[in-house]
Chain A
């Protein structure tokens, strides 16, 4: 699974992206974030307040209950500030 981080999510985690192989029981975004948060302080800081975390699965906006699976591209980022 390809993970991408943007904005302060990237700053807090310290990398822009990584390839991960979460255990089989990680089936949705919420579980994926919980699994990532247990990996270290940067992750825990990035995902401390899920109200300000946005998600895209395979480049389409998704919510925390969206399904994720091996091979997906999952991006985690703050609310967008375009324009």
Chain B
């Protein structure tokens, strides 16, 4: 399941809802991305996430489908926020639920790596000296590439 929303999310409530009544769950993995208060040597006052409505949902659905193809997952949840956030605010939640820990941990890592480079979001950081668009990082591209090369067994 994917959700793109302006509002915050409650991690505990989301996890409870995903696993409630399901006694086949062996483990779940959870990743939460937060807004940091520094970029380089600049102090961030806010971060605004812009996205491409319509395409964002399509891309997230594709990313979820790819994770489900690669790992035996019972549930997948991706919640990605947009709009203006403050340092410490939650940006993104990924939860993967499986009978086994490897599938949940690996697929969660895969999903967050793919989100970085394949989900149409752009981040504008505001600092005391002005606003700047966050550049994509070479390391993020490399992290996403790793999953293309190493298919799980």
A-binding residues in B (CB < 8 A): 33, 50-52, 54-55, 58, 80, 91-92, 112, 115-124, 133-136, 140
Contact = CB atoms under 8 A, between A and B. Distances in A.
Interface string A4-46: 1011101100000000000000000000000000000000000
Contacts, number: 69
User: What band does the interface of chain A fall in when counting residues whose beta carbon is under 8 Å from B?
Assistant: 10 to 19
Nearest to A4: B52
B55 A81 contact: no
A71 interface: no
Contacts of A83: 33, 91-92, 112, 115-116, 119, 121, 140
B55 A75 contact: yes
Contact of A80 (B58, B91, B92, B118): B118
Contact of A82 (B120, B124, B133): B120
B122 A6 contact: yes
B119 to A, nearest CB: 3
